[in-house]
Amino acid sequence: MSSLVVLALIAKFLIFTTQEDTLYVVRNPYSVTGMLLWPRTIKGHWPIDVSWDFEVKNDIFQHASKLPYSNDGYAVIDSGAHIGDGAVPLAAAFADTGRSDIIVYAIEPDVFKCNVIKALANINNVQNIRVICTGLSAYSGRYEGIVPTNNMRCTIRGCDMDAPNSGATTWQPVESGGVEFKTLDSLYKEGIIEHPLGCLHLDVEGMELAVMQGGMETITKDRPYLSVEGSNDTRPFEQLLGSNYTFHRRIGGNNVFLPSVGAK
């Protein structure tokens, strides 16, 4: 019996316990032969498709796959990991291609979403992923999430005005309550991230510059590939990165920066 048939049989009876939603067998878009068990919907959350922002995430996969194999491994950080629609399939694809030295770190401040990522990784037996349930900023502090309302989700079947785009949640600092945010540098200093930074993907709804400001020590030391969501105006990032980085190209809604040739 083929692995695809086995997965299909499992999916027929398996219930996604977090939202009581049936799992389906889907193709991993970043792997030639890989398949995943994946929910078709998660109530109150969107987007969840494993192909969401495919061009951006495939570029990350292609770049990381070209890193020389290392006994120390590499961290591919997905900050703003949402429900793991990028982190889980990417980690699975690295494992499928024999790159167990590449560890995907899914960083997400929403506790519910962190649990979803862990559940999906566990269901799909993805071992090379770590979930860090915190937000990133330029400094440590407490933040509160604001989910947009009245968002319209459109598919080939029509539009749904009641589907909140929780992937577009923004975070504002608060004096008390909320969720703890840290800096990228502090995650390394505390040993929470254990592998040298190979790729950094930021999709944090306007906080991309702040995250980089809180991670410049790590970025300067490890010189990772940077894929940063934002506008066409790359000047604030170029000013922060200085001569150590060069703007490479724009892919979808992300700007890609690569270490400058000869820079140390």
Mean pLDDT of the chain: 88
pTM of the model: 0.88
Structure confidence by residue, pLDDT tens digits, 129-140: 999 999 999 999
Domain ranges of the chain: 44-259
In this prediction, residue 22 has a pLDDT band, given cuts at 50, 70 and 90, of confident
The per-residue pLDDT for 184 is 98
**Does position 124 have pLDDT exceeding 70, yes or no?**
yes
Residue range 36-62: mean pLDDT, rounded: 93
Can you tell me the distance from the alpha carbon of 260 to that of 264, in angstroms, rounded to the nearest whole number?
Answer: 8
**Does position 161 have pLDDT exceeding 80, yes or no?**
no
- Superfamily name and number for 44-259: Vaccinia Virus protein VP39 (3.40.50.150)
**Does position 74 have pLDDT exceeding 50, yes or no?**
yes
**Does position 112 have pLDDT exceeding 60, yes or no?**
yes
